[in-house]
């Protein structure tokens, strides 16, 4: 399985500001995924990031609010822009691996609290 | 659209005993994968076990095993000899087979919070 790291592990931010979350993988991967987990909820996919192309966003998520960069095959960033308390969540980076690339592995998450 | 249902929001088990977590799903696909993930208080999502739909044999990983009933669209997780470290939120998840496209999404259930009591 891939080893995934995220920075920061947690942060407390003021509303109206932006936070960029970094995700680093120890191997080259085609796709990287960003998820949000709101308090007490399950995981929701925000977007899929392919290297060299625009990220694909899920319904309810837009690029202006969650811009994503994917400069190479081992790294991605997710920015949470113009934050409000409703953005308080855990944000998780994920990649696929396994025998046929069907298993998703997750980073440790970034716990964000917006005041 | 595929859905995953976990009908047990919370469960409790005594240490060393066995517990079964339920999961049902709805799909018209024939080729897919099923997963159980564990999320302890650290919030790290950890893969517990995976099952390919085309395999009749139930997957096992040490103390963890599944009861995969394809016709019934049921995928329960059995934890044997429960340990305190098994205390976590458990999520059941579904994904269409890769032949359907590399961008197939992983669809999660709402989770079951398992507490292992000493």
For A78-81, the CB contacts below 8 A with 24+ separation are: A78/A20, A78/A21, A78/A23, A78/A34, A78/A46, A78/A47, A79/A18, A79/A19, A79/A20, A79/A21, A80/A18, A80/A19, A80/A21, A80/A112, A81/A18
Query: Distance (Å, rounded) from C-alpha A44 to C-alpha A57?
Result: 11
Query: Please, how many CA atoms are within 13 Å of residue A60, restricted to the half-sphere of its CB?
Result: 5
Contacts of B63 (CB under 8 A, 6+ apart): B79, B80, B81, B83
Among A34, A39, A42, A92, the residue to mutate for chain B (most B Cβ within 10 A): A42
Q: What is the pLDDT of residue B102?
A: 53
User: A109 and B45 in contact by Cβ < 8 A?
Assistant: yes
Query: Distance (Å, rounded) from C-alpha B111 to C-alpha A87?
Result: 21
Q: Which residues of A touch B37 (CB under 8 A)?
A: 106
User: Which tens digit of pLDDT belongs to each residue from A15-64?
Assistant: 999 999 999 999 998 889 999 999 989 999 999 998 888 899 999 999 99
Q: What is the pLDDT of residue B1?
A: 76
User: What is the percentage of chain B residues whose pLDDT exceeds 70?
Assistant: 95
User: Which tens digit of pLDDT belongs to each residue from B5-38?
Assistant: 999 999 999 999 999 999 999 999 888 999 999 9
Q: How confident is the model at residue B42 (pLDDT cuts 50, 70, 90)?
A: confident
Q: How confident is the model at residue B99 (pLDDT cuts 50, 70, 90)?
A: low
Q: What is the pLDDT of residue B104?
A: 80
């Amino acid at each position: 399985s891939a080893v995934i790291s995220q920075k920061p592990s947690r942060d407390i931010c003021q509303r109206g500001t932006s936070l960029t979350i970094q995700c680093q993988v120890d191997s080259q991967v085609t796709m990287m995924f960003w998820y949000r987990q709101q308090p007490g909820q399950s995981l929701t996919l925000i977007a899929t990031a392919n290297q060299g192309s625009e990220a694909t966003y899920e319904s309810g998520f837009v690029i202006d609010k969650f811009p994503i960069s994917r400069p190479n095959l081992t790294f991605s960033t997710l920015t949470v822009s113009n934050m409000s308390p409703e953005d308080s969540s855990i944000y998780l980076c994920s990649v696929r691996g396994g025998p046929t690339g069907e298993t998703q592995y997750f980073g440790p998450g970034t716990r964000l609290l917006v005041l | 659209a595929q859905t995953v249902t976990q009908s047990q929001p919370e469960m409790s088990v005594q240490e060393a005993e066995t517990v079964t977590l339920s999961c049902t799903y709805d799909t018209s696909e024939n080729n897919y994968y099923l997963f159980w993930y564990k999320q302890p208080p650290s919030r790290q999502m950890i893969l517990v076990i995976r099952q390919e739909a085309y395999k009749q044999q139930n997957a096992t990983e040490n103390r963890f095993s599944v009861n995969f009933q394809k016709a019934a669209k049921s995928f329960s997780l059995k934890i044997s000899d429960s340990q305190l470290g098994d205390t976590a939120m458990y999520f059941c998840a579904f994904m269409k087979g890769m032949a359907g496209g590399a961008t197939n999404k992983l669809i999660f259930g709402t989770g079951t919070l398992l507490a292992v009591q000493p």
